[in-house]
């Protein structure tokens, strides 16, 4: 937010100059908003990507305990996005959001697949346990 201070002890600007200053401040405010929006999108994507990478490498997290194939799928997707981030330092806001969404989709598919495998294994184990009874 910009504050326009006009001091009556100095040469007073004309009405046109005042209007121009107001228009300029509005233009700069819009530009600043876009810069902040892009910075927020980049920070959000980087934080998500690097946090996810750390979790995949940490055996105490859900991601770290995934089966090797799922962990590899996630690790590859994460590294692709890290490389993209490194090679596109001036990416636009929408590009950053799109790439984050792509990574999120890989996470969702991977976790869904891992969960369905877990349910299948438990269901099979449960059936064999009941058969033994």
Q: Each residue of 9-29: b (16+ CB within 10 Å) or e?
A: eeeeeeeeeeeeeeeeeeeee
Global pTM reads 0.71
DSSP 89: T
Q: How confident is the model at residue 131 (pLDDT cuts 50, 70, 90)?
A: very low
Structural domain for 110, as ranges: 15-132
Structural domain includes residue 111: yes
Q: What is the pLDDT of residues 9-42, one digit of tens each?
A: 667 888 898 899 888 888 888 899 999 999 999 9
CATH of the domain at 58: 1.20.1270.10
Q: Would residue 3 count as lying in a domain?
A: no
Asked whether residue 40 is domain-assigned, the answer is yes
CA distance 93 to 105: 19
If one counts the domains in the chain, the total is 1
């Amino acid at each position: 937010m910009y504050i326009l201070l006009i001091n009556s002890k100095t040469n007073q600007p004309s009405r046109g100059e005042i209007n121009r200053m107001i228009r300029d401040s509005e233009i700069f405010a819009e530009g600043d908003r876009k810069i902040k929006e892009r910075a927020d999108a980049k920070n959000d994507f980087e934080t998500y990507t690097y946090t996810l990478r750390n979790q995949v490498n940490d055996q105490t997290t859900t991601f770290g305990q995934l089966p090797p194939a799922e962990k590899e799928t996630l690790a590859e997707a994460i590294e692709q996005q890290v490389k993209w981030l490194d090679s596109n330092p001036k990416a636009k806001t929408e590009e950053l959001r799109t790439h984050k969404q792509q990574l999120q989709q890989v996470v969702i598919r991977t976790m869904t697949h891992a969960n369905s495998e877990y349910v299948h294994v438990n269901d099979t184990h449960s059936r064999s346990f009941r058969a033994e009874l």
